[in-house]
């Protein structure tokens, strides 16, 4: 049971990377990259979790035992930024499609030599 969170983070990380490696479509690749990214969120939040503690919000309760707010702060901003980076990648994919008419990374080759 105790391994589950770490195992999941590792699973998401490598399954996403597998997707990136085997992808035949840039749009699909961007989605896989987002999966890799989500693995880091899962890892960080699992690190900050504490058995039986509540969220670090003390609006109704007095300050005290709660899960770690630091990792949450780190992840929270990163999620939003991650979306904009996905957008950047999608914009790249869109332009690639316009210029080349294909999205298969294996059919494209950057400037050689």
Q: Which of residues 87-106 bind another protein (CB under 8 A)?
A: 87-103, 105-106
Cα–Cα nearest to 34, from 11, 17, 54: 17
To the nearest whole angstrom, how small is the minimum distance from the Cβ of residue 82 to another protein? 8
To the nearest whole angstrom, how small is the minimum distance from the Cβ of residue 61 to another protein? 9
Q: Which of residues 1-20 bind another protein (CB under 8 A)?
A: 1-20
Interface with another protein: number of residues (CB under 8 A)? 109
Structure-block tokens of residue 21: 């490696």
Q: In this structure, are residues 39 and 7 in contact, taking their beta carbons and an 8 Å threshold?
A: no
Structure-block tokens of residue 81: 């930024």
- Please, which residues bridge with residue 54 across strands? 66
Helix (H) or strand (E) holding 26: helix 26-48
To the nearest whole angstrom, how small is the minimum distance from the Cβ of residue 91 to another protein? 4
CA-CA distances (angstroms) from residue 46 to 3, 25, 56, 68, 108?
11, 32, 15, 10, 39
Q: Which of residues 60-89 bind another protein (CB under 8 A)?
A: 63-89
Binding flags for another protein, 22-41, as an x/- string (CB under 8 A): xxxxxxxxxxxxxxxxxxxx
Binding flags for another protein, 42-61, as an x/- string (CB under 8 A): xxxxxxxxxxxxxxxxxx--
To the nearest whole angstrom, how small is the minimum distance from the Cβ of residue 93 to another protein? 7
């Amino acid at each position: 049971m105790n391994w589950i969170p770490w195992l999941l983070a590792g699973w998401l990380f490598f399954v996403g990377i597998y997707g990136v490696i085997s992808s035949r479509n840039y749009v699909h690749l961007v989605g896989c990259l987002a999966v890799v990214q989500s693995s880091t969120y899962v890892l960080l939040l699992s690190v900050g979790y504490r058995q039986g503690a509540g969220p670090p919000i003390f609006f109704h309760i007095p300050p005290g035992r709660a899960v770690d707010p630091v990792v949450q702060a780190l992840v929270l901003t990163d999620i939003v930024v991650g979306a904009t980076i996905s957008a950047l990648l999608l914009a790249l994919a869109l332009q690639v499609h316009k210029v080349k008419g294909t999205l298969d990374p294996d059919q494209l080759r950057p400037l050689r030599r």
